Structure 1
Amino acid sequence: MTTSLNMLSEDCISTVLSLTSPPDACRFMPASSSMRSAAESDIVWGRFLPSDLPQLLSRTHTQLTFSSKKELFFQLCDSILIDGGISTFSLNKVSGKKSYFLSSRALTIGLSDEPNHWIWTTNSTSRFPEVIELKTISNLEIEGRISTQDLSPNTTYGAYLIIKVSDRAFGLGSIPSETSISKHENSVTNTAYLCPLDDQKQQLESLFFMNRRRMMEKRVVEGEGRRPTKRGDGWLEVELGEFFVGGKSETVKMSLMEVKGHQLKGGLIIEGIEIRPKC
């Protein structure tokens, strides 16, 4: 294929490579000097950049400096602060699809302005200036929203609550919370716990809360009782659900709330909700 492409003009090669993917374009660079020039051209990398690029750049928190569209593409593959620093945006290096991270400041959190229940603080491992930590509350309500217009079309996305659990945490692993993904009148619910329990503590709390737990889980249409999984950055993530982005512009609501169990809890640290492609 490389030999056949070398017979074409540089513009033609660039047009062909623009129909591939970022990794494919990079693989052709070492083939020859003319192939490298074509593979690095703005024709190729402009195709990999999102169509709403001007609007995205207008939302960035810091000024980006780049000399080519290829350079801009790889800058956008890192998390870029947008919307005054309360969210981030990034591109997937392989697919070029868009991801967003809504910080805790970009979410609606019940009683977040009440210092008796929540405290805004900093965390050295967070990408945001602030995170929110739960002191104590009985009714947990967390909600984030995003427009499908901001996301990549024809893509299945997953939404993940990104959290940490402090050493002083209590009440987070005994009663399930309800997770929900809603678009218009369509809603898919599930259940999740907010901390991974060690075996001994899980057995004790299971015995103590067994009847109450069963009652709570019956209030949810379907539930797996998902547990948080550890990420490479040291945080935990809880999958809230998934949704498909078609051609129509819709608002997606992502939420987590206690299933009316009114279990007193504390020690939850929330960084935000990440929305990223699942494939």
Structure 2
Amino acid sequence: MEQIQVGDSNSGGGISRNDSIVVVGASSRFETLPEDCISMVISHTTPRDACVVASVSKAVKSAAQSDLVWETFLPPEYASLVPRSLNCSSKKEVYLSLADDSVLIDDGKKSFWLEKSSGKKCFMLSAMDLTIIWGDSPAYWQWITVPESKFEKVAELRNVCWFEIRGKISCGMLSKKTHYSVYAVFKRTSNRSHGFDHTPVEAEVGFVGKETTKKFVFLEPGDTDSRSGYRYSGVSHAAVSRAFRTRRPWMLFPREEVEAERKVGSRNVEEPKERGDGWREVELGKFYIDNGGCEDGDEIEISVMETQMGHWKSGLIFQGIEIRPVKRQEEEEMVTK
């Protein structure tokens, strides 16, 4: 009897993922299998594959949409995360609900959702779930409500010279075998921010007690103000750190040299990008959760801080820190390096 194989992207045949292309070998014989068998095979692929293979035939569609398939794509703890008000008639509807809209967990301090194509878990740690230095002092930080935020309260930076925000998440909450990116999510107040135009802040991401990755990021885009004549595009972490320790950032590079660096696209200091939800984000770093997951108590720690210059900074509204899987193309590039 001819063997019928349906596999994931690592298999040689059957269902092979290549953008939106799915090839099903010997589909006529595949359809003759019992529906539970077809469902079991599809459950070893991905949510994206299940949606595409459903177009093969009515029999395969029925199997691909079964609860047996979609329950395997849901995290084991999904029942405790789904709001009681959510009225879903199938596990696929539950999955799509968690992929389309985030839900608040941990007394409203975290937001959780699923990456739609893969089912990987995503989180945002709200400002309320972070350690913000001077965050309880109204002269420095103010807790406000904004309608576009996921959370009840966000942190508005009024005026500080010591800018430091830290957060942690148990790596057991995250998906195994997954590369994650970490982002700060924020916006300006109604007036433009002050003190961040030409001052990069230091970001660290990594497992607690182990070596972390460090980088510098801007909380203002590079084109906000050109009057000072210096930028940090293309400057190494060590050069920026040294300049800020000596409190002489303007000595990094002449303006002409910096402009030349910018033209060739060398950029080691990350800049913020606009999101579709009205907020900005800047990547703070990456980490990887391996197949074994984590030991009990292992945590990922994230920090973003600027404490070297000592000048005053104000005018940002900080919603939180977002942790989501690296995009598929970027992840493939990381693996092949």
**Is the TM-score greater than 0.5?**
yes
**Would the alpha carbon gap of residues 256 and 85 (structure 1) be closer, same or farther in structure 2, given more than 3 Å must change?**
same
Q: Report if the CA contact (8 A) 1:140-1:257 is conserved.
A: yes
Aligned partner of residue 73 in structure 1, secondary structure: helix
Whole-angstrom distance in 2 between the partners of 1:253 and 1:239:
14
1:275 Cα deviation (Å)? 0.1
Could you tell me which residue of structure 2 aligns to residue 265 of structure 1? Answer: 313
- Aligned match of 1:216 in 244, 261, 280? 244
Asked whether 1:190 is paired with 2:215, we answer yes
Q: Report if the CA contact (8 A) 1:162-1:237 is conserved.
A: yes
Asked whether 1:44 is paired with 2:69, we answer yes
Could you tell me which residue of structure 1 aligns to residue 255 of structure 2? Answer: none
**Would the alpha carbon gap of residues 35 and 79 (structure 1) be closer, same or farther in structure 2, given more than 3 Å must change?**
same
Whole-angstrom distance in 2 between the partners of 1:27 and 1:190:
39
Which one is further off, 33-42 or 68-77? 33-42
Aligned partner of residue 76 in structure 1, secondary structure: helix
Could you tell me which residue of structure 2 aligns to residue 238 of structure 1? Answer: 282
Could you tell me which residue of structure 1 aligns to residue 272 of structure 2? Answer: 228
**Would the alpha carbon gap of residues 148 and 232 (structure 1) be closer, same or farther in structure 2, given more than 3 Å must change?**
same
Whole-angstrom distance in 1 between the partners of 2:105 and 2:135:
22
Whole-angstrom distance in 2 between the partners of 1:233 and 1:124:
11
RMSD over aligned CA atoms reads: 2.3
Asked whether 1:181 is paired with 2:225, we answer no
Give the structure with the higher percent strand. 1
Alignment of structure 1 residues 23-34 onto 2, 5 Å: 23-34=48-59
Alignment of structure 1 residues 1-279 onto 2, 5 Å: 1=24, 2-54=27-79, 57=80, 59=81, 63-77=85-99, 78-166=101-189, 167-183=191-207, 184-198=209-223, 201-204=225-228, 206=230, 215-216=243-244, 224-246=268-290, 247=292, 248-249=294-295, 250-278=298-326, 279=328
Kindly name which structure, 1 or 2, has the bigger radius of gyration based on alpha carbons: 2
Q: Report if the CA contact (8 A) 1:176-1:258 is conserved.
A: yes
1:202 Cα deviation (Å)? 3.1
- Per-residue CA deviation, residues 78-105 of structure 1 (Å, 9 max, x unaligned), is 2111112221111111111000011111
**Would the alpha carbon gap of residues 50 and 132 (structure 1) be closer, same or farther in structure 2, given more than 3 Å must change?**
same
Whole-angstrom distance in 1 between the partners of 2:139 and 2:152:
21
1:44 Cα deviation (Å)? 0.6
User: Unmatched 5+ residue regions in structure 2?
Assistant: 1-23, 232-238, 248-266, 329-337
Aligned partner of residue 149 in structure 1, secondary structure: helix
1:116 Cα deviation (Å)? 0.3
Counterpart residue type for residue 275 of structure 1:
I
Whole-angstrom distance in 2 between the partners of 1:204 and 1:273:
30
Whole-angstrom distance in 2 between the partners of 1:33 and 1:6:
9
Aligned partner of residue 156 in structure 1, secondary structure: strand
1:47 Cα deviation (Å)? 1.1
Whole-angstrom distance in 1 between the partners of 2:108 and 2:84:
9
Aligned partner of residue 230 in structure 2, secondary structure: helix
Q: Report if the CA contact (8 A) 2:122-2:323 is conserved.
A: yes
Aligned partner of residue 23 in structure 1, secondary structure: helix
**Would the alpha carbon gap of residues 255 and 212 (structure 1) be closer, same or farther in structure 2, given more than 3 Å must change?**
closer
Q: Report if the CA contact (8 A) 1:176-1:216 is conserved.
A: no
Whole-angstrom distance in 2 between the partners of 1:148 and 1:253:
10
1:139 Cα deviation (Å)? 0.5
Counterpart residue type for residue 277 of structure 2:
D
Whole-angstrom distance in 2 between the partners of 1:217 and 1:238:
23
Which one is further off, 92-101 or 160-169? 160-169
Aligned partner of residue 202 in structure 2, secondary structure: strand
Could you tell me which residue of structure 1 aligns to residue 256 of structure 2? Answer: none
Of all paired residues, the percent bearing the same amino acid is 39
With the length of structure 2 as denominator, give the TM-score of the two structures. Answer: 0.74
Counterpart residue type for residue 155 of structure 1:
T
Whole-angstrom distance in 1 between the partners of 2:83 and 2:229:
45
Aligned partner of residue 107 in structure 2, secondary structure: helix
With the length of structure 1 as denominator, give the TM-score of the two structures. Answer: 0.89
Whole-angstrom distance in 2 between the partners of 1:180 and 1:217:
17
In the alignment of these two chains, the number of paired residues is: 269
